[in-house]
Chain A
């Protein structure tokens, strides 16, 4: 158990819908990262937040957005869902007090199925 929690564990929804995935980082970690993992794409970095502010952006679609709240939990919002958005979505957290490499601890993931 990494200490990072994600809800829900599974999500099944229809195309065109909007969903929200939630992540709570490990106690004391200020940085939260979101990743998407699909069978044909591997693990892709989406976005990072540090203490409420966006710090780095990866291959995140405009239909996707995220935020980190004052209590440090984070939400990833996916809208106008398409079949291709079906994937495992992981949240990770790290200390990241100072800039530089930090071990990231991954949550158990949310499996999203778009039908």
Chain B
């Protein structure tokens, strides 16, 4: 499968900003999703990028550079409830086969 790399863990303070990077193999790329997953719960959709640039959704933004095989998720004004795993997922074919990264555990401290 195609490697999707993201950091294992990041720690940040409440109110701060955190940027989670994701790199992936570009061959066959068809779109990139970010999901949030709290421990033991279902992943929930955060954002979707298929074209280069920044998509903003409230406190969360996601950026994509297709030529570089790079994306990031920006979490602003961090809240304690943002402590979760953030999964980068890449679409590699046209029928829905999502390849997930291992996830980045974000720990928000008071």
Tell me if A83 is interfacial: C-beta within 8 Å of chain B.
no
Q: Which residues of B contact A33 (CB under 8 A)?
A: 96, 98
Determine which of B40, B48, B102 lies in contact with A101 in the assembled complex, contact meaning CB atoms within 8 Å: B48
Count CB-based A-B contacts (< 8 Å).
Answer: 66
Q: Which residues of A contact B42 (CB under 8 A)?
A: 2, 90, 106-109
Docked Cα-Cα span, A104 to B42, in Å, equals 11
Q: Which residues of B contact A90 (CB under 8 A)?
A: 42-43
Nearest B residue to A49, CB-CB: B96
Q: Mark A84-115, 1 if CB is under 8 A from B, else 0.
A: 00001010001010011111111111010000
Determine which of B41, B96, B101 lies in contact with A102 in the assembled complex, contact meaning CB atoms within 8 Å: B96
Q: Mark B38-49, 1 if CB is under 8 A from A, else 0.
A: 001111110010
Docked Cα-Cα span, A90 to B40, in Å, equals 11
* Distance between B50 CB and nearest chain A CB, rounded to angstroms: 6
Q: Can you list 9 A-B pairs with a CB-CB distance of less than 8 A?
A: A31-B96, A43-B103, A45-B98, A55-B96, A56-B97, A88-B40, A96-B95, A106-B43, A109-B42
